[in-house]
Amino acid sequence: QTVVTQEPTLSVSPGGTVTLTCGLRSGSVSTNYYPSWYQQIPGQAPRNLIYNTYTRSSGVPDRFSGSILGDKAALTITGAQADDESDYFCVLYMNTFEVFGGGTKLTVL
Amino acid sequence: VQLLESGGGLVQPGGSLRLSCAASAFSFSSYAMTWVRQAPGRGLEWVSAISGGSGTFYADSVRGRFTISRDNSRNTVYLEMNSLRGEDTAVYYCAKKARYSWGPGSMDVWGQGTTVTVSS
């Protein structure tokens, strides 16, 4: 079972806002886990969007933002576009391990 | 800035394979490097990492079977894989960490991956 949890699927309307979350099967996610977010278009390599909870990677549009919401890390996409349809993975840094979540498949429709 | 993996292929269970990842257009010796894999139809799984100073780190699922190393003179990181199992079948990506030591932060450059298939 995956220690790091994500919604398997989410959908958003074009122009809408969606929040993807990243939790722990046991416990709360905090900035101490330095959550990062990666976008992966099927058949392509992942691309880093957010690291260290809030920081956007170079060239990432500001419609992507990272935060902590309650006991989870969150990736919010504001003003979703068709090419945001993709798989999204969070990863937590835990005692020298990078632990990926199972991923969220985001549909824009 | 580019990473190019090679060395994947078909190998029998119990066999060995060595993956290579050649880096270009950045100061390779100044950054930690890592391997991440993705089984068919599955999510990403962190496999191993090596710091700029050659400290090594492994996921529990591969510790004792896989060895990561780097040759800064060749701008290349390697993943030696022994005692391969069916569950090691995956696309293996190498990625650059945006720091010298292994620690939290962005994996900011990724290769396109090389496919390893473990099957008889």
Strands B66-71 and B56-58: unpaired
Which residue in B49, B93, B105 is closest to A45 by CB distance? B93
> Is A36 in contact with B34 (Cβ distance < 8 A)?
no
> Is B57 in contact with A96 (Cβ distance < 8 A)?
yes
Q: Is residue A106 predicted with pLDDT exceeding 80?
A: yes
Torsion angle (degrees, nearest 10) of CA A24, A62, A87, A31 = -10
Q: A91 vs A5, A94, A100, B11, B120, CA distance in Å?
A: 10, 9, 4, 30, 33
The predicted structure's pLDDT at residue A14: 97
Of B84, B106, B103, the closest CA to residue B8 belongs to: B84
The predicted structure's pLDDT at residue A1: 60
Q: Distance from B16 to chain A by nearest Cα, in Å?
A: 24
Whether the CB-CB separation of A61 and A80 falls below 8 Å is answered with no
Find the closest chain A residue to B44 by CA distance. Answer: A100
Torsion angle (degrees, nearest 10) of CA B63, B4, A2, A80 = 160
The predicted structure's pLDDT at residue B52: 93
Confidence of residue A94 (pLDDT cuts 50, 70, 90): very high
Q: Is residue A17 predicted with pLDDT exceeding 90?
A: yes
How many interface pairs between A and B have CB atoms less than 8 angstroms apart? 63
Q: Distance from A34 to chain B by nearest Cα, in Å?
A: 6
Of A2, A27, A21, A97, the closest CA to residue B43 belongs to: A2
The predicted structure's pLDDT at residue A71: 97
Q: A78, exposed or middle or buried, with CB in 10 Å at 0-12, 13-18, 19+?
A: middle
The predicted structure's pLDDT at residue B77: 98
Which residues in B15-24 are b (16+ Cβ under 10 Å) and which e?
eebebbbbbe
Q: Distance from A4 to chain B by nearest Cα, in Å?
A: 12
Q: Which of B44, B56, B62, B108 to mutate to test the interface with A (most CBs of A within 10 A)?
A: B44
Task: Find the radius of gyration of the CA atoms of chain A.
Answer: 13
- Please report which helix (H) or strand (E) contains residue B119, including its range: none
Which residue in B46, B93, B105 is closest to A51 by CB distance? B105
Which residue in B45, B59, B104 is closest to A52 by CB distance? B104
Q: Is residue A2 predicted with pLDDT exceeding 80?
A: no
The predicted structure's pLDDT at residue B6: 98
The predicted structure's pLDDT at residue B88: 98
Dist CA B6 CA A64 (whole Å): 33
* pLDDT averaged over 10-residue windows placed end to end, chain B, 120 residues: 97 98 96 97 96 94 98 97 98 96 94 98
